[in-house]
Amino acid sequence: MKVFETIFEESGMLRAIMSGGNPSTMLRTSGITERFDAINAFFSELKGLVESNPKAMLPDLFKYLETIEKHNLFIKKRGGLPRAGSRGRVRLMTAHRSKGLEFDHVYIIGAYDGHFGGRRSIERLPLVNSVYNLGHNELSSKQPNIEDDLSRHSSEGAEADERRLFYVAITRAKKGVTITYAKQGADGREQLPSQFIGEIKKDLIEELSAEGGPAFGWEKDFEEKKHLLFSVAKSSSTPGVGASLTPGVIPDFAADQEFIRNIFERQGLSVTALNNYLECPWNFFYSNLLRLPKAQNKHMMYGTAIHRALKDFFLQLKNREIPKENLIDSFELYLNKQPLNDRDLKEVLEKGRESLSGYYDQYYKTWERNVLTEFEIKGVDILAGRGRSSKEPEVRPQGAIIHLNGNLDKIEFIDSSNSVNVVDYKTGAPKSRNDIEGTPRLRSGQETKHKKMSNYKRQLTFYKLLLDQYENGKYKFVSAELDFIEPNDKGEYKKEKFFIEDSEIVELKEVIVRVVDEIINLKFWDKYCENLDCQYCGLRKLIA
């Protein structure tokens, strides 16, 4: 994994992608997003290969790629960035693949009998019962025809499956569905509409005929202009490397802004993304918006294995007693799936065994067992404040909805009224309360009027904001704590619990509104962080 990341960064591949055209159109050029999608798809495939074989070497990768090429297989894209001008475009998929998705408008094509329902099954020529039971005609005439029953039930089952699939397709729409079918098939035979169309209430249907109606105009328009639809798109950007942006000026500002907003609205804002932005806007841009592929280091892989092991452990602990060995075995299982070299594996394996053993001994008798683990919250919306004046040229978040996301390590139920304590695991060295609070260390007699909220405290405050808005306050946030899995130098395990104040929520909301404003209006474009060696600011210079 690290080899691929190194090649990607040091070979000039990233530079070629970022500067492979006019920088003024870099953000919204479809070629850019497609290349990033392809790289991320390959990186995801590589991660899957490594998880199945942590000891895989470069020859194994080449053999795997040769197999893909030999059999003409496709590497599946997972997610990906929205295409430039993606609004107003159409997504094509099967009815099966549409499950769980929603769209304003859905078009169901090929809704003719035999395709959606009414499939004909080939039946064998029925034989007279006496053929089966020679000499036992009287007995056989009283027996049910099992083969006929099976055929009938099989046909009914297939029809029911088709009906459910048609229902899935229809219910993907939020505003309207258009169902189409051709009256004549490719073989010239006449086709009838699917029987499922006839099962829809008549008052819900508006029939559009292709002969003389609106659909006729659409067909005619398509025939006249299909040479335009299927022609190769011409880029309006100026080719060549080395074009530059005028400092403080972003050409075609509205189009770039629209592209960023499309990505941002789809992804939402997590506390990790927020902290990345506050650390360096370009860290956020590359890590959270464009999502550059990046390999985990040994500390991150260690943390991943710890989190997964604790998730499994607490899921089992709800109903029965779980020995320490189960927790450690689970950790070893997940760690062995990581692409660690022998030296690093031995180091973190020993570290994890020792830490989890002491952690178990310290807390096993006092752990709350009524918990939720790895609780994911998506699409919690907060109102960003009052609406903007119509005279303001910028697209401001005031009055707009901001989508927040998060993943909570553990939620402990304190009582029967859904009061909860949120727990976040930390695998690094335990921090002091002052470090977590963001309180600066002062000399004796010094005072400070300003206390900057730390990433840790912002994370816990963000979780309260999420839970308070989740399903109309389904869970009552009481407290949050950082649970350090490793002991300090004295061998002591620490937990730090916090009660989030309303003023801290107000402060966090103000930060979120400011950050969102800077993101969607590209105010960060000419900003750099204070770290002179920042790799993300260095990447920014590739498009400057």
User: Which residues, at least 6 apart from 121, have a Cβ–Cβ distance to it below 8 Å?
Assistant: 151, 154, 155, 158
78 and 171, same domain (yes or no): no
pLDDT over 60 at 186, yes or no: yes
The last residue of one of the domains, among 198, 229, 260, is 229
- 252, part of any domain: no
Q: What is the pLDDT of residue 27?
A: 52
502-520 and 253-267 are packed helices; what angle lies between their axes, rounded to 10 degrees?
140
The last residue of one of the domains, among 200, 229, 258, is 229
Q: pLDDT confidence of 269, banded at 50, 70, 90?
A: very high
421 and 330, same domain (yes or no): yes
111 and 82, same domain (yes or no): no
107 and 161, same domain (yes or no): yes
134 and 74, same domain (yes or no): no
The predicted model gives 406-415 an average pLDDT of 96
451 and 520, same domain (yes or no): yes
356 and 433, same domain (yes or no): yes
CATH number at residue 217: 3.30.160.800
308 and 457, same domain (yes or no): yes
pLDDT over 80 at 259, yes or no: no
pLDDT over 80 at 7, yes or no: no
Q: Could you tell me what percent of the chain has a pLDDT over 90?
A: 35
The predicted model gives 222-226 an average pLDDT of 68
374 and 505, same domain (yes or no): yes
80 and 188, same domain (yes or no): no
- 251, part of any domain: no
- 280, part of any domain: no
Q: What is the pLDDT of residue 78?
A: 54
Ranges of H-type helices in 410-525: 433-437, 455-469, 502-520
| Whether this model's pTM surpasses 0.85 | no
CATH number at residue 490: 3.90.320
Range of the domain at 208: 103-229
**Number of domains observed in the structure of the chain:** 3
The last residue of one of the domains, among 181, 197, 229, is 229
- 257, part of any domain: no
- 389, part of any domain: yes
501 by Cβ neighbours in 10 Å (0-12 / 13-18 / 19+) ranks as exposed
382 and 494, same domain (yes or no): yes
363 and 224, same domain (yes or no): no
Neighbours of 106 (CB within 10 A): 20
Neighbours of 425 (CB within 10 A): 16
Q: pLDDT of 456-487, one tens digit each?
A: 999 999 999 999 999 989 999 999 999 999 99
- 249, part of any domain: no
